[in-house]
Amino acid sequence: GQESLKVHACVGLPLFAGQNLIGALTLDGMQPDQFDVFSDEELRLIAALAAGALSNALLIEQLESQNMLPGDAAPFEAVKQTQMIGLSPGMTQLKKEIEIVAASDLNVLISGETGTGKELVAKAIHEASPRAVNPLVYLNCAALPESVAESELFGHVKGAFTGAISNRSGKFEMADNGTLFLDEIGELSLALQAKLLRVLQYGDIQRVGDDRSLRVDVRVLAATNRDLREEVLAGRFRADLFHRLSVFPLSVPPLRERGDDVILLAGYF
């Protein structure tokens, strides 16, 4: 009855994709002080994660709708021709998702355990995309010493630091008009995450030691074997960068869930 519907705690959080309001998340609690334990920052993190999930769902719906229209079959052929071996339901679904996202210019976050083939997924996306005629540039973030990571990503100018004897392009410049694959993105420091976020937001970079900005047109594919949502909640990964990278998330099934695919893989290798 009405007794059970007395006023209780309620929090409303706006959900944004970029600057656009795409929805709202309402949290209800049965105790008046239900949400007092949450800080403003924690509520913003919850909103960012929810916004990412909603934005992804809307984009997938839009892309699937576009994919139903008559069009060029080349992207699907490119996906089939890559070295992505597997006929299990999980791999079949993954190939369909690659086909959908490849034709777009969206950033993609590829999640999966070590050794599941995340690099092959990135290669398949690039080869089936309009950027296929341009470079696919690879960078393993886990193998980067902090002292050289910024230079590897953005380049440097002569004299920027000891040993910088000439100007040098970074991976973003090398991937201009193409695709940059950032493997193990979860290993980047928070400082570099902030610089990467700026590139994704504004499309320009600054070489180390340079005060000029350079425009770049790069599609970013990122991979991780971590649960980045957990990393965000733990404060080790920026929520805004996670939202930017995971516009279209893909999950690569572990080998133990691929059934007879393991036999196919053994035969191939």
Residue 30: both structure tokens together? 């049965």
> Using an 8 Å Cβ cutoff, are 219 and 178 in contact?
yes
pLDDT of residue 131: 93
pLDDT of residue 35: 78
Contact partners, residue 227, CB within 8 Å, separation at least 6: 111
Left if phi > 0, otherwise alpha if psi is -120 to 50, otherwise beta: which for 235? Answer: left
Q: What is d(CA 116, CA 122) in angstroms, rounded to the nearest whole number?
A: 12
pLDDT of residue 226: 93
Count of all residues that appear for the chain in the document = 269
Q: Which spans in 68-158 are helix H?
A: 74-81, 89-102, 118-127, 146-154
Residue 43: both structure tokens together? 């509520």
Residue 198: both structure tokens together? 């700026």
Please list the residues that pair with 26 across neighbouring strands: 12
Q: Per residue of the chain (269 residues), what is the pLDDT tens digit?
A: 445 555 577 788 888 766 667 788 888 777 777 778 888 777 877 777 777 777 767 766 666 665 543 344 444 444 444 555 556 677 788 888 888 888 888 899 999 888 878 898 999 999 999 999 999 999 999 888 877 888 888 887 765 566 666 677 889 999 999 999 999 999 999 999 999 998 988 888 888 777 788 899 999 999 999 999 999 999 999 998 998 888 788 988 886 665 555 434 433 33
Q: Which fold has domain 73-268?
A: Rossmann fold (3.40.50)
**What sign results for the dihedral spanned by CA atoms 213, 248, 229, 21?**
positive
* Domains of the chain by residue range: 2-62, 73-268
Please list the residues that pair with 140 across neighbouring strands: 183
Cβ neighbours around 227 below 10 Å, total: 13
> Using an 8 Å Cβ cutoff, are 108 and 221 in contact?
yes
**Residue in the structure block whose two tokens are 């050289």:** 148
With residue 63 as reference, give the H or E element that holds it.
helix 40-67
